[in-house]
Structure formats: structure tokens, C-alpha cells
Chain A
Amino acid sequence: NAGVTQTPKFRILKIGQSMTLQCTQDMNHNYMYWYRQDPGMGLKLIYYSVGAGITDKGEVPNGYNVSRSTTEDFPLRLELAAPSQTSVYFCASSLGTGGDWVTEAFFGQGTRLTVV
């Protein structure tokens, strides 16, 4: 079972460069999320999507953009990378958010990004 797959696993960017972090899930989940994890901090939500064509900002969206053209894919775009975006990025998915049994979240293995 593939679950949630993120690419790349590691990346080093120079200040001002752009890149896209890829995320795909094969569980037919409606909800997808991007979190970032900084040392000593809890995970913070960047963006989320409730279905294809629908996205919205989370807690820390500045400097990022997302799109959701299919159920499976939810790429995260960094424009004009800054050192403050050095972090570990996690993509997650869940079937939905209504009803107890559908809300378990599954996470990818993460992308470790360094901006120098």
C-alpha cells in the first residue's frame, strides 16, 4: 500500500529560487493537507484542500501556494524561497472530516528542505 507519497525527500534551495513539493495519495481521500515541522515546535498547517478544485489557507500560508486539480495530487509551491522556509514538510490526507470513522489522518514521509 503506497498511502501518501511525497517527493523529493531532500532538497537544498538557494534564496530566491522556486520549487514544487509533490504529494500524491492513492486512498481516494477527499481531504489533503500540508504541514511544516520546525525543531522543537508542533506541526503547523500551511494549506488544506477538501476536494479537487477547492483549497484554503491554514495557519502559516505566507510564501506558499497550492493547487488541487485531481483527488490524488496536492502539490505545494514555494516561490522566492527564504531561509525561514527551511523546515520539514509533511503532506497528509484523510477521507473526510465529518463523522467519527472518517477522520483518521495519514502522513507521508516528509520532505526536508534547506534554504541557503
Chain B
Amino acid sequence: KQEVTQIPAALSVPEGENLVLNCSFTDSAIYNLQWFRQDPGKGLTSLLLIQSSQREQTSGRLNASLDKSSGRSTLYIAASQPGDSATYLCAGKYSGAGSYQLTFGKGTKLSVIP
């Protein structure tokens, strides 16, 4: 069974710091990996999608990487701001059986302190 794990569950950093959020997955047959942001009481906003053939994707201050061999993805946030405070979820889509769904981690709750 595919599993996606995010550690730590919560992270607090001072404003301006660069930070890395981690996501690990158990099956190297991953098709793509998507990072989402969720604000309290809100839906999920797609941040970045990395295909299995790619190693990284960038959008503004965000950079996501994917290493299938080690079963890891990271989301790098540069020069963090209080507005970055949210829960960040990663989700993997796998080929083969179950390819219709995303397998989600439980998220990392990020607090950026002014």
C-alpha cells in the first residue's frame, strides 16, 4: 500500500528564514507529486506539480524537488513571510492500480513568526 509521510507535523520559523518541508513516499512507482497549501477552514490550493520525469519545479519563492530513488520530495520556501503560514500537504499519484487517486500525507503546519 502506498504511503506518504510528512515530518515534522508542525514547524515554526522566524520571518525571513529559508525553510524546507519534507515529504517521503513508500513506492518508487510514483507518477507525479503535488504540493498543496491549506489555510484554516479553506480548501486546498495547488502550489506545484512535479512529474516523475522531472527533478524539480519552481514557482516564485517556492521550489519543489522529487527524488524517486530515495522516495523523497522537498518543498523549499525562500525568505519566508507571515503570509506563508498554513498547512502544506503533499500528495502522490501512482501508476497502476489506484492511479485514479492522490495519496495524501497528513501535512506540515507552518507558522512564520513576524
Interface residues of A (CB under 8 A from B): 4, 6, 31, 33, 40-43, 45, 48, 50, 56, 58-59, 90, 92, 97, 100, 103-110, 112
In the bound complex, CA of A34 to CA of B96 (Å): 20
Q: Residues of B with Cβ closer than 8 Å to A?
A: 4, 31-32, 34, 36, 41-46, 49, 51-53, 89, 91, 93, 99-107
Taking a contact as CB atoms closer than 8 A, the residue among B43, B46, B107 that contacts A104 in the complex is: B46
Cβ-defined contact, A90 with B44, below 8 A:
yes
Q: How far is the CA of A105 from the CA of B43 in the complex (A)?
A: 12
Known: A40-B106, A97-B99. A108 touches B43 (CB 8 A): yes
Q: Which residues of A contact B102 (CB under 8 A)?
A: 43, 45, 105
* Complex: A97 Cα to B101 Cα, angstroms: 9
Q: Is the CB of B43 within 8 A of A45?
A: no
Q: List 8 A-B contacts (CB under 8 A).
A: A33-B100, A40-B106, A41-B106, A43-B102, A43-B104, A50-B100, A90-B43, A97-B99
Complex partner residue of B42 from A33, A43, A106, A110, CB under 8 angstroms: A110
A48 vs B101: C-alpha distance when bound (angstroms): 8
